[in-house]
Amino acid sequence: MRYAELLERIVIDIRIAMSLATILPVGPAKPLDNGAIARTSWALPVAGLVVGLVGAIIYAIAHMVHLPPDPAAVLALVATILVTGAIHEDGLADAADGFGGGKSRDEKLEIMRDSRIGTYGACALVVSILVRWSALATIAEPASVASALLVAHAAARAQLPVFMWLIPSARSDGLSAGAGQVSPETAMVAAGLGFLCLAFGLGFGKAILGLILLSLVGWMWAWLATKQIGGQTGDVIGALEQFGEIAILLLAGAMV
């Protein structure tokens, strides 16, 4: 493959990843072919950097107008939720409702398809938002907040292709099943990009700790999802992003 073709492929992959992870109108004009999501998932950490950058800019502006860390952190968090269309928050809420409210595997999957939010989902969202907000407010200093947001959003999304590669789909239809099978090479590229972001943002030692945290979070969530519904779905993957984001933000906050 020539250099120009390789560069064009990389740009297209990033645009697809951006269109999946954000509401920004950057996706290709042509419909995605089968397996495109799995093939381009290596670029999800790049999309995460963009989401984190939006939050960092909003936090910096809030700091410039002398807002205290607490409301500045709220605004930064709201910005990241808006730019993603709350896709991962939606996954977290649906997974919490399904796992908490369903009695059988089929009932859990059916609840997860329901667009309405239940008690478990509402509680999960409140906890997720409160923990992320408090972590950012604790960090406080704008440059450190920017680093934490960039790293958290990139690393949290870097684990998703690895999860999709290792854990089978719980359904024969739906977003996750339709995404295709992630190859080991794609998963490793995503993981490598995530680790590079961790190393640049937190330092090599903290990056190793972050990698361990993400691995533990992924392993525990994989065990629970397999036990509850027999595998992963789009909602399960969305919830995993939230857990990874929380883990890295807490790690960054603990370093202050």
DSSP state of 41: G
Q: Which of 27-41, 43-57, 157-171 has the lowest mean pLDDT?
A: 27-41
DSSP secondary structure string, 147-195? Answer: HHHHHHHHHHHHHHHHHHHHS-BS-SSSHHHHH-PPPHHHHHHHHHHHH
Supply the pLDDT for residue 30.
Answer: 61
**Band of residue 255 on the pLDDT scale cut at 50, 70, 90:** confident
Q: Write the pLDDT tens digit of every residue in 209-225.
A: 999 999 999 999 999 99
% of residues, the chain, pLDDT over 90? 79
Whole-number Å distance between alpha carbons of 43 and 25: 16
Supply the pLDDT for residue 12.
Answer: 87
**Band of residue 208 on the pLDDT scale cut at 50, 70, 90:** very high
Q: Which of 12-26, 162-176, 227-241 has the lowest mean pLDDT?
A: 162-176
120-139 average pLDDT score:
97
- Residue 231 CA: distances (Å) to CA of 71, 77, 167: 38, 30, 6
Whole-number Å distance between alpha carbons of 33 and 154: 25
Q: Write the pLDDT tens digit of every residue in 66-75.
A: 999 999 999 9
pTM: 0.93
Whole-number Å distance between alpha carbons of 113 and 107: 10
**Number of neighbours of residue 126 by Cβ within 10 angstroms:** 10
Average pLDDT, the chain: 92
Whole-number Å distance between alpha carbons of 230 and 140: 41
130-150 average pLDDT score:
96
Whole-number Å distance between alpha carbons of 83 and 79: 6
Supply the pLDDT for residue 256.
Answer: 66
Whole-number Å distance between alpha carbons of 52 and 44: 12
103-119 average pLDDT score:
91
Query: Residue 165: is its pLDDT beyond 90?
Result: yes
